[in-house]
A and B are shown apart, each in its own frame.
Chain A
Amino acid sequence: MTPRQPASIRQEGKVFPIAFAKGFITIVAATLILVVLCLVFAPSSVSSGALAGSLPFASVLAIVGLGQMLVVQQGGFDLSVAGGVSLSVVLVTHYPAGDDAQLLPAILIALGCALLIGVCNSLLVGYMRLNAIVATIGVNALIYGGVFAVSGGVPRITTDLLATIAGGSLFGIGNAVVFAAVALGVVALIMKKTVMGRRFEAVGASPALAATIGLPVRRYQMLAYVFAQLLYCLAGILIAGLTTQPTAFQGDPLLLPSVAVVVLGGTSLLGGRGFPVSTVIAALFLNQLSQFSYAVGVPYSAQTIIQALALGFGIGIHSIRLPNKNKKLSTHSNLEETNETYVS
């Protein structure tokens, strides 16, 4: 028996279709404009070497963003991103202690821990109905307890094998980029092409309606936290490989950007439809924005302001109401790029 859910904020009368999701158009346009700006003012930031250096980190952000997106789709927030990533960094560097043979067991332990944390989050939010922000921030503190218990706050140096896996390249494309592409493919396919994925979005869009038609709402909401942690774990493993001598707090700088890419990608913070492709493009956009700032050589203060303005603009544009020209609903499509957008 599923409890009654609060009514969705959306109203049927305010739903209207457009050819492409607004979030997708916005972020693609913004990224293209940025690339043009880079080509004109800072060509070095789009050189192949610069991209080879920065794209792996964009990939990490993209993977973390996909995890956060799943949670946001269910109307939640996952503030345990930082802890989840940091714990996996610590686990995959501490246990092997430079020994390649120990890497696989360490990765399995990290995945096991991620599952456990995901279940913990999902029980607190999905079953005990705690506020997602409060629950995940608490779990984050618990995870950091684990980080200290394992490592004393100091990860060891990455094994050579992990450095090769994360930092190497396949046909000129960084392995980290490949991992992000695979993660995107899996998330997008499951979300858009499977019954489970469609139900997952339906539950996020309107838990009350989903409950009415008999969907196990809680189970879908709980699944989001578990899959999110698995994605954070993957991101942590990649960071451990990319940075060689990581810190124990490598996840901290990812918390805000993880939410930013979700919002820039067009996923509503109130839950509902998710936009995995747009989220990944948003990660590329944020990464390129940093590279642009570095290449132009603006002071650090200006870099921060530029990024904040871009974020403000990106988030602000989603709250602009477009005139409702179409009165009738178009056929629903599963494809992100041709989805209708809800503007409330």
Chain B
Amino acid sequence: MKLTSLKGQTALAAALMTLAVAGAAQAEVPSWCGPNQASLALLDGYGGNSWRLVTTASGAAEAALCPSITDYQYADGQGNTQKAISDIKGMAAKGVNALVVFGDAGPAVLPALKSAFGAGAVVVPYRVVVGGEEGKDYTKFVGSSFVDDGVSWGNWIKSILPDGGNVLFLSGPAGNSQGTDELAGMKQILDDKYVFINPEPFAVTNWDPALTQQVLSAEIAKNDKIDVIVSDFGPSLVGALPTFGKFNRSIPAIATSDGNSLGCFWEDNHGANPDFKLFTVATGNDNVRLAVQWAVASATGGTLPSEKIFKAPVFEDSVSGSPSAVQCRKDLPGSIYLSAVMSGDDQAAAVNK
């Protein structure tokens, strides 16, 4: 499995790099790409969903912009912490110069990061907090501001429901830091007029569409009035939202992250559901680009990026149409993210490979 995955990703990376070299011989080399040659590895803790595929392809595409990167590798921990640790150690042992790590297992991968960093590699964990200290345990942590996502959702909710209302907040596994940060962001904006009807701090869905559907039907049955649903993985709602129809109720307003399937679902269903407004922040595939920039800059002697944390921009708002109206590309797979820098067609190629 690993070999296949490695082969596939390496082939993709090679293709992208060839394209970059051939097509952009005269293209401007970004400032974060320094003159020293280096090899780069992208290590995923869990690569099994379309978001990760698009993110991986985005990371490879970003690395391909720098001609000083001579070798690019990818490994998927497949949700197994031990495998993720052994992947990190293996890449460091092979002498890869820069490691960009999605540390799904959190602090459990810190010792491996520390040992790779101690062995002289540039180590850039991103998105998931792994603990430790920059400069001591790894080179740089490129986090994502989930609090900002919560603030964006809070502001929108306030704009559509100025007199308050009932909010149902769904997030992933119990206690995940992304959900608690988002809640903190929303609470900065929303006062007591806004009642969170889910169990504290959020309804647990494990980001599993089947569980999301079960939780949502229970919440709909329990609460006669749900004014807005907040979810940090929008596409997992698509299978669950028709549940409102079974209760003869309109789908309420949704504040979430984007996905092509969700955009198309809104297009098909907002006519019949008068309360169905949609607001999305970018799902954050481009977090990896900033992490790659930091890793490449550190490994090749380029200029370090000025951004230290990835802030997901607001993407769609069905009410104001700004910065974008809801987007749907029916000709492309539902499991792509039109908010990403990578074009929809390129994402489709990555997802459908």
**Known A152-B8, A152-B53, A167-B242; contact A243-B217, beta-carbon cutoff 8 A:** no
Q: Who on chain A is nearest to B219 by CB?
A: A294
Contacting pair B239 A243 (CB below 8 A)? yes
Report B211 CB to chain A, min CB distance, Å. Answer: 7
Give the complex CA separation of A112 and B218 in angstroms. Answer: 36
- Residue A156 at the chain B interface, CB threshold 8 Å: yes
Contacting pair A154 B208 (CB below 8 A)? no
**Known A148-B4, A152-B5; contact A247-B209, beta-carbon cutoff 8 A:** yes
Across the interface, which residues of A come within 8 angstroms of B209, CB to CB?
243-247
**Known A53-B246, A154-B351, A243-B239; contact A45-B48, beta-carbon cutoff 8 A:** no
Give the complex CA separation of A45 and B216 in angstroms. Answer: 12
Choose, from A213-221, A262-270, A295-303, the stretch at the interface.
A295-303
Contacting pair B247 A250 (CB below 8 A)? no
**Known A49-B220, A148-B1; contact A291-B214, beta-carbon cutoff 8 A:** yes
Contacting pair B217 A54 (CB below 8 A)? yes
Q: Who on chain A is nearest to B259 by CB?
A: A245
Interface string of B223-241 (1 = CB under 8 A from A): 0000000000001101100
A138-178 at interface with B (beta carbon < 8 Å): 144-145, 148-149, 152-154, 156-157, 167
Report A50 CB to chain B, min CB distance, Å. Answer: 4
Give the complex CA separation of A52 and B209 in angstroms. Answer: 16
Contact-size category for A: 35 or more
Report B278 CB to chain A, min CB distance, Å. Answer: 16
Across the interface, which residues of A come within 8 angstroms of B319, CB to CB?
none
- Residue A47 at the chain B interface, CB threshold 8 Å: yes
- B216 CB contact (under 8 Å) in A44, A53, A253: A53
- Residue B335 at the chain A interface, CB threshold 8 Å: yes
Q: Who on chain A is nearest to B247 by CB?
A: A49
Give the complex CA separation of A52 and B260 in angstroms. Answer: 27
Across the interface, which residues of B come within 8 angstroms of A226, CB to CB?
none
Give the complex CA separation of A79 and B174 in angstroms. Answer: 26
Across the interface, which residues of B come within 8 angstroms of A300, CB to CB?
174, 199, 204
Give the complex CA separation of A244 and B334 in angstroms. Answer: 10
Contacting pair B210 A243 (CB below 8 A)? yes
Contacting pair B199 A52 (CB below 8 A)? no
Across the interface, which residues of A come within 8 angstroms of B8, CB to CB?
152
A-side interface mostly: helix
B310-353 at interface with A (beta carbon < 8 Å): 333-335, 351-353
Contacting pair A242 B210 (CB below 8 A)? yes
Give the complex CA separation of A247 and B212 in angstroms. Answer: 12
Contact-size category for B: 35 or more
Across the interface, which residues of B come within 8 angstroms of A179, CB to CB?
none
Give the complex CA separation of A144 and B4 in angstroms. Answer: 13
Contacting pair B214 A248 (CB below 8 A)? no
Contacting pair B246 A52 (CB below 8 A)? yes
Contacting pair B217 A50 (CB below 8 A)? yes
B48-94 at interface with A (beta carbon < 8 Å): 48-50, 52-53, 76, 78-79
Contacting pair A153 B49 (CB below 8 A)? yes
Report A340 CB to chain B, min CB distance, Å. Answer: 37
Contacting pair B48 A247 (CB below 8 A)? yes
Report A171 CB to chain B, min CB distance, Å. Answer: 15
Q: Who on chain B is nearest to A149 by CB?
A: B4
Report B3 CB to chain A, min CB distance, Å. Answer: 11
Across the interface, which residues of A come within 8 angstroms of B242, CB to CB?
167
Report B331 CB to chain A, min CB distance, Å. Answer: 10
- A297 CB contact (under 8 Å) in B47, B208, B222, B247: B222
Report B148 CB to chain A, min CB distance, Å. Answer: 26
- Residue A135 at the chain B interface, CB threshold 8 Å: no
Residue among A42, A152, A290 with most chain B CB within 10 A: A152
Q: What would 23 A/B residue contacts be, using CB atoms closer than 8 Å?
A: A44-B221, A49-B246, A57-B210, A152-B53, A152-B353, A153-B78, A154-B335, A156-B335, A157-B261, A239-B210, A242-B213, A243-B239, A245-B209, A245-B335, A247-B208, A247-B209, A249-B79, A253-B210, A294-B203, A294-B218, A294-B219, A295-B218, A299-B200
